[in-house]
Every structure is written in structure tokens, then in C-alpha cells.
Structure 1
Amino acid sequence: MNYLVNLALGLIFSLIFGRILIPILKNLHAGQSIREDGPQSHMIKSGTPTIGGLIFLSSAIMTTLLTRNFKVSVLMILFSTLAFGAVGFIDDYIKVVMKRNLGLRAYQKLLLQIIAAIILIVYQYNSKNMGTDLYIPFLKDYRSIGLFYIPFIIFVIVGTVNSVNLTDGLDGLSTSVTIICLLFFNVVSVKFQRYEIATFCIVLAGALIGFLFFNKYPAKVFMGDTGSLALGGAISAIALLLNVPLILPIAGGIYFIETLSVIIQVLSFKTRGKRVFLMSPLHHHFEQKGWHEKKIVAVFSLVELILCVISYLILF
């Protein structure tokens, strides 16, 4: 029952903060700029308020305070969520409020993300909860990878954060996929008896369900890099602290499929001069084939749900 209460609190606070923050974002003229090389159907979205990630982040913080879920592991997940969200906020603020198109440079973003990842790794290295041992899904046991742990986890965290960012390209897509992913990690946390992490997962899922009210098609607000990088920080930190980052390519399969589509597109164009997809990331490919945004979100969410069920069966 507590999980339902936490879910409801996260949802309600998002609905409240959405009503407050969206008008403020409009007054700041924090409107989304649409790339000219993107789908032409997106041009009508130009000017829609962005930086909406502040809505569900505020909700998650408020609900965490109310539920007094202050265990160190939760505070570290919250740190990761807010640290990566802060990187996204700086980038969003420079681009949409200060009207400087470049925002943060790629190397600045990457450096800040690596610093945040290292802080997480230092915590986990000294943690009593299995430390740096990784849970191997098919073996259903823990193994150490020694010195490879640090570069591997940096790669996993930074890769996940930017994969979630790439997925945020349609109204409600990243929000819907992440809700399913968080519910999966809630179940995994309970299975591992990490109830404090399970509570945070359900709180953030509730906050996203509330945010989806504003973010579903046609979106009244976008989460921006503030939201997408924050969600990537949350998902990667949760997987790390549960010692199951190896399941992320499956449990977060939609994120990685989207990223893979971009990599394939770039490599194919540079080596063969041909494109594999009509447009990347993958959701834009289906848009170009005539799929409506709502259909893409529904299908991708269903695929994510199936991947999470498969992940559970692999883990346990």
C-alpha cells in the first residue's frame, strides 16, 4: 500500500508543479527550437515550453522529503539524478533562455558527466552492498571484473544518460519508456530487498505519470535536456547500486536501440555514403514512414515492457 501512496504523491505533486512551472517557462520564453533537418511535422512544435524536467524533479524531491526516504543509497541516486539534470539545465538555459544556440560544448557536457559518474563509482566502491561485484544475469551470481570496473561503469553511466537523451524526441516517448523501466527496477529492488531504492523508483515513476499529463501528444511542455539527462542519471545510478548494470542493454533496450540506430546511420553514411534509416534516431524513421507519434510511443512502450519482462526472467 505504501508504494501506491508514494506513486500517488509523485503524480499529484507533478500535476501541481506542472500548473505552476509551465506558465513560468512561457513567461521566460523558454520555447523549444526545432531543427530544420528534423521531421517537417515537428515545425508546429516550435515555441513549446521546454526545461519541463523541472516538474517531475521537483515532484520527486518533494515526495522523497515527505516520505523521509533518506538512506545514503537513495541520496546517491538523487545526487546522480540532479547532477546530470543540472548539466542538462545549464545546456537548456544557455540555448533557450539566453538564446545562444550552441549551449554547452560536447566536451564540456562529457567532462561534467564523467565527473558525476566518478563520484557514483567512488561511493559504490566503498559500499557494503556488494561493492564493485557485478550480478551476472545468466549465471545468477556475482563476479568481480577488477580494474576494468571503473572505465566500464563510466561507459555504462555516460552511455545510458545520453541514450535516454536521444530517446526524448517525440511527445511522451522518453517519459513512457522510463516509467516502464522504473517499474521494472522497483520489482528488482524488492526482489533484492533494497526497499529504499524500490521506493525511489515508484516515486519517480509517479512523478513521470503526472508529467505525462502535460507531455503526451500534443505536448504542452517538453522535458528538455534537464529532464532526459536527469532520467538517464537516475536509471544508471539505480542499476549501479543494485549491481545490475549488465541488464541495462535489455531492460533499457529502447534507449540502446535508439542509440544504435544513430551509430549505424552515421557509420553507414560515412563509409558507404548511404543511409540505413530514413532518419535517425529510430523513432524518426517510423515517422518518415507515416506512423503517427502516438502509434510510435505505444509500440515502443510495448516493446520496452516486453524487454523488461525478459530482463526479469534473465535475472531471476
Structure 2
Amino acid sequence: MKVIIIFFPLVTAFFITLILGPVTIPFLKRLKFGQHIREQGPKRHLTKAGTPTMGGIIIILSLILTSFFFGKYNKDLILILGITLGFGLIGFIDDFLKIALKRALGLRANQKIICQLILATLLVYYGTLYLEKDISLKIPFSGFLVNLGVYFIPFSVFVIIGTVNSVNLTDGLDGLLAGITVIISSAYTFIGVINQNYNLVIFSSALTGAAVGFLVFNRYPAQVFMGDTGSLAIGGALASMAVLTKTQLYLPVFGFIFVLETLSVILQVISYRFFGKRIFKMSPLHHHFELMGWSEPAVVFLFWCITLISVTIGLISYFYI
């Protein structure tokens, strides 16, 4: 039964993505939803200008179809899908404004954060009901539990918004985020199986299958980019799974590469603003490696390996410490 509940959603999502890709990519091309490449970025990326973006629609549709087919409209599954779709919708609007309407900045920063706050608060509020008031979180590498009490909701909201935006920052190289998603969502599938949370298993295995399928079109050289539509949706999906498994404190471990990418941006800004010097050749971190002469596939493979190691360490800590 466990094998079936993992295998069938994964394979179904994979093949749905494979079917949707050849239909969606030409459609995005006809709409001229091509990626705009910043001139300040690595020069080799200029050749990617015009590559269809907003391909995250493929992942979202695959998730919806697979989850509803196997999950039988379970309320927990609907919540995760709703949050994922909500964050994906924010990304879609942002992409649409930037690409279709040629508004350079897309949604304003305050508009994004308000929408994200609403979704994150809804997720955490439901999470407290789902957890039946047990809001203790396990501290990684310690075995200790911490009850945050009244701070549980603001802390979790902070983690969710931080995760979503860190994931968004990481989506900068062909196949990078899709591959990382495969690894982390596989970890949540394992957690779901061990904890007998089969709604989580259905969703996480479907996300794994959709991400693997998307890699067929998104690997170097990419035929399509997921855009903010996909990256924000994936961030919402990972955050949702963390809240419903009480692993908010493990997200920085599982997504260690997200932490590195975000820190590189923060440190770069602080260093340049206060000292007039750059720590990295360019941020986020993946661009730094590119400007050091690494090929794009080499950087992607390195970051996948780092994620595999951090996820393995996180799972060992979760189950055995």
C-alpha cells in the first residue's frame, strides 16, 4: 500500500507534466511570454532572452489534477493545494505584469508582502487546528521540543514568507530549483510515510513527479522557465508541508541552499551599502560561481549535491536525534 501511494501519484504527475509541456510551451511562445534577461547579470544569460517563462503553470496543473484524483478532496490536501495555488497566483500576477504588460517591477513590494502575509497566516491558523493545539517544535540536532506559545503563529508566518522568497531567489539557473524541489519533496514523502500521513505523501510525491517532469523541459539549455509562478508556488508547497509536519525548524536544514542564496544577497547588500565593497562577484550565490568560470550545469549539480547532503543530515536528525 505504501509503495502504491508513493508510486502512482509520482508517476501520474510526471506523465501529466510531460503531456502538458509540449502543449503549454508553444502556447507561451505564441503569447510572447518570453523571459527578460537583466543586462547586469552574467553575459552568457543574454542568450536566454525570449525563452518562454511562467512554465510553473505546468507544475501547478499537474499537482492539482494528481492530488484531486488520488486524494479524494481531503480537507488537508485542499489546504496545501490552496496555499500552493495562492502563492502561485501571486507569482503569476507578478510575471504577467512584468512580461505581458511590460511593467518592469511587476507587483509592488508592499502588495506582495500583504498577499503573502494573508496566505501564511491562513496556513498557520489552520495548522494550529490541524495539530490540535500541539504546537511544540522539535529542535534539529538536539532531540528537544520547544513550545513557542503565543509566538508560534508569528514565527511560523516568518518562516513561511522567508521560505517562499528564498525559493524564489534560488530560481536562477536552468534546472536548479526543479532539481532541489525533487530532493526536498522526496524527503517529505519519506516523513509522510513514516508518520502515516498519506495526504502528505500524495501531495509530496505528486510534487516530486511534477518537478522531475518539468526538468525534462527546464534542464540546461532550458526550453521553458518556471517564473515566479512556479517558484512562489513551490515555496508555498514546501512551507505548507513543513507546517503540517511541525518541521518549520527543519526547513533551513532541508533547504540549506536556500539559506546560502538568501544570505549571499543580504551580505552583499550590507557590505556594499556600508563599506562600498562586494563580497561576491554577484549575488545570489549561483551567479558568483558562474562569474568564477563555472559552467551552469556544474553549478546546478553542485547545489543539488549540497541539497542532497543537507536533506540527508536533516532526516537523520529528525528520526534519530
Match of 1:290 in 2: 293
Are the aligned partners of 2:13 and 2:206 in contact in 1 as well (CA < 8 Å)?
A: yes
Structure 2 counterpart of 1:253: 256
User: How many angstroms does 1:188 deviate by?
Assistant: 1.4
Which of 269, 278, 283 is 2:281 aligned to?
278
Q: What residue in structure 2 maps to residue 303 of structure 1?
A: 306
Q: Residue 66 of structure 1: CA displacement?
A: 1.8
Structure 1 position 182 matched with structure 2 position 185: yes
CA gap of 1:142–1:190, structure 2 versus 1, over 3 A, is farther
* 1:124–1:131 Cα contact (<8 Å) kept: no
Q: Distance in 2 between matches of 1:44 and 1:212?
A: 20
Residues 137-152 of structure 1 mapped to structure 2, 5 A cutoff: 137-140=140-143, 142-152=145-155
Percent identical across equivalent pairs? Answer: 47
TM-aligned CA deviation for residue 194 of structure 1 = 1.3
Report the number of matched residues: 316
* Letter aligned with residue 291 of structure 2: Q
CA drift of 1:85 comes to: 0.3
Equivalent residue, structure 2, for 1:215 = 218
SS in 2 for 1:34: coil
Q: Indicate which of 21, 25, 30 corresponds to 1:18.
A: 21
1:182 aligned counterpart, secondary structure: helix
Query: In the alignment, is residue 240 of structure 1 matched against residue 257 of structure 2?
Result: no
- Structure 2 unaligned regions, length at least 5: none
Q: How does 1:195-214 map to 2 (within 5 A)?
A: 195-214=198-217
Match of 1:118 in 2: 121
**Post-superposition offset of 1:115:** 0.5
The aligned residue for residue 97 of structure 2 is 94
- What CA RMSD, in Å, does the superposition of the two structures yield over aligned residues? 1.2
What is the CA-CA distance between 1:68 and the residue it aligns to? 3.0
1:9 corresponds to 2:9 = no
- How far apart are residue 133 of structure 1 and its match? 2.4
Looking at structure 2, the residues matched to 130 and 122 of structure 1 have their Cα atoms a distance apart, in angstroms, of 10
Deviation at residue 291 of structure 1 after TM alignment: 0.5
8 Å Cα contact 2:71/2:202 also seen in 1: no
Q: Write the letter of the residue equivalent to 2:265.
A: V
Shift of residue 139, structure 1, vs aligned partner: 4.0
8 Å contact 1:51–1:89 — kept in the other structure? yes
Please state whether the residue corresponding to 2:78 is helix, strand or coil: helix
User: Relative to structure 2, which stretch is displaced further, 274-283 or 72-81?
Assistant: 72-81
Q: For 1:134, what is the secondary structure of its paired residue?
A: strand
C-alpha separation in 2, matches of 1:307 and 1:147: 30
Separation (CA, whole Å) in 2 of partners of 1:278 and 1:315? 36
Task: Return the TM-score normalized by structure 1.
Answer: 0.97
Offset of residue 152 of structure 1: 0.7
Deviation per residue, 1:91-141 (Å, 9 max, x gap): 001111122212100110011000000111111122245542222333435
Cα deviation per residue 1:151-186 (whole Å; 9 max; x = unaligned)? 111110000000000000000001101110100111
Q: In structure 1, what is the equivalent of residue 272 of structure 2?
A: 269
Q: Kindly tell me: are residues 55 and 107 of structure 1, through their superposed partners in 2, closer, same or farther at Cα, counting changes over 3 Å?
A: same
**Post-superposition offset of 1:211:** 0.6
TM-score w.r.t. structure 2 length?
0.96
The equivalent residue for 1:43 is 46
Task: Determine the C-alpha separation between the residues in 2 that align with 1:129 and 1:160.
Answer: 24
Q: Which residue of 2 aligns with 1:224?
A: 227
Aligned partners of 1:73 and 1:137: how far apart in 2? 25
* Equivalent residues of 1:130, 1:243 under 8 A apart: no
Judged with a 3 Å threshold, the aligned counterparts in structure 2 of structure 1 residues 211 and 176 are, in CA distance, closer, same or farther, namely same
The residue that corresponds to 2:85 in the other structure is: 82
Q: Secondary structure at the match of 2:229?
A: helix
CA distance in 2, matches of 1:107, 1:15: 36
Asked whether the 8 Å contact 2:84–2:237 carries over to 1, the reply is yes
Shift of 1:205: 0.6
Please state how far the C-alpha of 1:69 moved relative to its aligned partner.
4.4
2:170 maps to 1:167: yes
Work out the CA distance in 1 between the residues paired with 2:73 and 2:187.
22
Are 1:192 and 2:177 an aligned pair? no
Q: Do the aligned partners of 2:125 and 2:153 also contact (CA within 8 Å) in 1?
A: no
Contact 2:67–2:77 (8 Å) recurs in 1: no
Q: Deviations over 1:64-88 (max 9, x none)?
A: 1221343222211111110000000
Which residue is 1:67 aligned to? 70
- Where does the alignment leave 5 or more consecutive residues of structure 1 unmatched? none
Q: Are 1:153 and 2:156 an aligned pair? A: yes
Deviations 1:175-205 (A, max 9, x none): 1011101001111122222121022101111
